[in-house]
Structure 1
């Protein structure tokens, strides 16, 4: 913003200077030339009057040479006087005596000898120097006596004009410098609150509490905007804090009554008749489901409260550890749990996110998998096909957890990440919060979560996380690495 404001100030100042200085420079140049021409014309008429008087009194031979030398020294040029037939009478330049035979043929002198009433002003180049030539007739009582020819170099005029243009340029540069200094100060003064607002907006967008923006500096409009932003940020912070506190406290407070309720239901089992034990078992199952739902809400409340920054995580080691932990439970249910973990390197993820993602997906896969089926965990390095070799941008790591259960339709997969949503006919015991928590953890880590139909008819849950290492070279097509298990993957929806 400061750069744009400064550029606008300088552009406006430069436009004003150009509109003022260019006409001023041309006007001075024209007036200076007119002044020189007028001065030369007046001098020629003065010499003409003096020569007419000298010729009439017969003192031309004595007075004219001294007069022309004095005049030439005063104007810095040359003065020549000829009689009515073009014969040289007096000159301030000895070379004119050599050229005396050609003087009558010069245009200015010839016009003056013809008795032209106007002054003939000509600009000629003599010896590579530009001269201003002025010729005036010498007359007395309508009788032609001769002519006066003045030549003076225009270099002095050009130098004076160039000097004025230089002064105008330096003055304009000085004005632009002053405008730049003052404009920079004004732009900084006006832009400081905007930068504070930008900083506070980034803090608020990243999930933190925005520091109140200083409202004592800057234009009134910006100060009013900063005040409105402070009120909005404070109100939003209060609402979010109240929401997080309610979710966390409510989930925490519900844990104890639910545990007590389950204990009482279990203690009722000896006192319940056989025909009522089915209802009692259903009540215990719903109590367990409600407990897991409370745990999920508590986990989501903790995730919203913490604005953790993603860091490098060894996803291969985590998958191997969770495979060892879950394998006995899978064996009890008659389901095989297989892990394919290639060398994919670390990923960027929120601390603890990968463990919770794997646990939720394995729990869902176990509930949906029939006996004698297989659940597969697989890590793949995904590199976009359009990436060039030696591209330093990071690749992605895909975690696939595939089951052989009934799967979902495309409409069900589109709604599976909604809170509290459960697919029709889903196994009992689910809360509808597991996939929602998985998606939030994945997004917090900078990745994406999606569901696809597996080749065996089940569900393929894909978690894509950014790699923590830049992939310098691509091997093969589509990001497959040597030795990696190849398998057809449906296209990911992003």
Structure 2
């Protein structure tokens, strides 16, 4: 933002300088040309009077001396003709006398007692100011005089002025840049500290609050409001994390005690009440799993973790080896297909929990003799495909809602497995979607971002290597 503010100030300064200096330069250039034309006309008039007097007296030999003296002092070229247009004297050493110039327009007008002041080109093609005047007394024309002055001298003065204006503009821009840079740094300092504080807060802890003592009043108030909000948010997050860490210990004991007390009733109950007792014990167990799922989800949401490169193939092999004995007990075959995927970006331990939850949910609905397929697809995708009853469109649309279970479900899931999976996938920068499987069943498609791996691959230590499945449908 400092650069953009600096560029804005400089652009405004350039526009102001251009609006002032360019018209000034053009006015000066026109004025310099006009002054040069007036000077040439004035000198030509003066020389015409002198040469007319010499011609009248017949002192033609004095003409070259007069012309040489003038050109030596002022420059330019002077040509004098008689009343017939024949050259009597020329200040140019290469000029010839005795030739007639009567046919040239300016000389012809001077012979007709009319003056000509114009811009033209000389014999070498250079631009010159030309003043041609008659040498006359009253209506009697005794000769003409042409004074030409090179415009290069005028252009040189104009260029010097343009250079001075450009140098002055550059100095002004340098001063503006210095002041603008200091001002921009002063304005953006609270924003820079606010940006750094926002990044720290996103990582979970605000160590350096934004600077609320410098900068414009509006930004100081913004920094103070952000600090107040961040402090309150950290307090709320701390309280929630404390609850998540303590609630598991506080809730586990009474739930375990309640389950033991219910089981102790079994010998004293009528056999006809045993099914109800079993259902009550099952509900207590489900409540325990639900509490554990809620606490796990709260811990995930309160933990700011940066994705790291993980070897998907290695994690998949480990988790399949862990789940194969349980699948075999249910007469379900675990099958891994597709080419190796390699590295993907995932937060530490996320892949293990994602695979465990999806496999646990799939095994819960897979009939005996079916196959549970974990297919690796190009584009760093993992497909978990079961041969269970599947889901309709409405159920798939709500499957990621917390505590939601299909109306026709017959298992004891808590409705938290898929929300946990989606949170882990989102935190890893990926996406998860549910689709109908070919034939029957459900296909869970996880797409993660590819990541480079070291020579030996990267497999971060996981905090959830065990069976983490929590039923979702």
Aligned to 1:70: 69
Once superposed, what is the RMSD of the aligned Cα atoms?
Answer: 3.0
Q: Distance in 2 between matches of 1:277 and 1:7?
A: 82
Aligned to 1:147: 144
The within-5 A match list for 1:327-346 is 327-332=324-329, 334-340=330-336, 343-346=340-343
Deviates more, 1:459-468 or 1:157-166: 459-468
Does the Cα contact within 8 Å between 1:365 and 1:375 map onto a contact in 2?
no
Name which of 378, 384, 387 aligns with 1:400.
384
1:99 equivalent in alignment to 2:97: yes
Aligned to 1:242: 239
Does the Cα contact within 8 Å between 1:109 and 1:135 map onto a contact in 2?
yes
Q: Distance in 2 between matches of 1:294 and 1:440?
A: 17
Q: Distance in 2 between matches of 1:369 and 1:130?
A: 99
Distance 1:444 1:119, change over 3 A: closer
Q: Distance in 2 between matches of 1:366 and 1:120?
A: 107
Q: Distance in 2 between matches of 1:161 and 1:397?
A: 72
1:36 equivalent in alignment to 2:32: no
Does the Cα contact within 8 Å between 1:311 and 1:349 map onto a contact in 2?
yes
Aligned to 2:456: none
Name which of 98, 109, 112 aligns with 1:111.
109
Provide the TM-score with structure 2 as the length reference: 0.84
Does the Cα contact within 8 Å between 1:360 and 1:435 map onto a contact in 2?
yes
The within-5 A match list for 1:67-466 is 67-86=66-85, 91-93=90-92, 95-96=94-95, 98-116=96-114, 118-121=115-118, 123-140=120-137, 142-205=139-202, 209=206, 211-332=208-329, 334-340=330-336, 343-370=340-367, 372-380=368-376, 382-383=377-378, 395-402=379-386, 404-466=387-449
Q: Distance in 1 between matches of 2:66 and 2:131?
A: 17
Q: Distance in 2 between matches of 1:274 and 1:62?
A: 155
Q: Distance in 2 between matches of 1:376 and 1:141?
A: 123
Give CA-to-partner distance per residue, 1:67-101, whole Å, 9 cap, x none.
333223222123344444445555544555x3323
Unaligned segments of structure 1, at least 5 residues: 384-394, 471-494
Deviation at 1:285, TM superposition (A): 1.0
Structure 1 counterpart SS, 2:215: coil
Does the Cα contact within 8 Å between 1:313 and 1:349 map onto a contact in 2?
yes
Does the Cα contact within 8 Å between 1:135 and 1:149 map onto a contact in 2?
yes
Give CA-to-partner distance per residue, 1:281-320, whole Å, 9 cap, x none.
2211111111111111121122123222222334444444
Does the Cα contact within 8 Å between 2:327 and 2:334 map onto a contact in 1?
no
Does the Cα contact within 8 Å between 1:377 and 1:400 map onto a contact in 2?
yes
Distance 1:126 1:285, change over 3 A: same
Deviates more, 1:45-54 or 1:157-166: 45-54
Deviation at 1:161, TM superposition (A): 1.9
Deviation at 1:63, TM superposition (A): 5.3
Structure 2 counterpart SS, 1:131: strand
Deviation at 1:444, TM superposition (A): 2.0
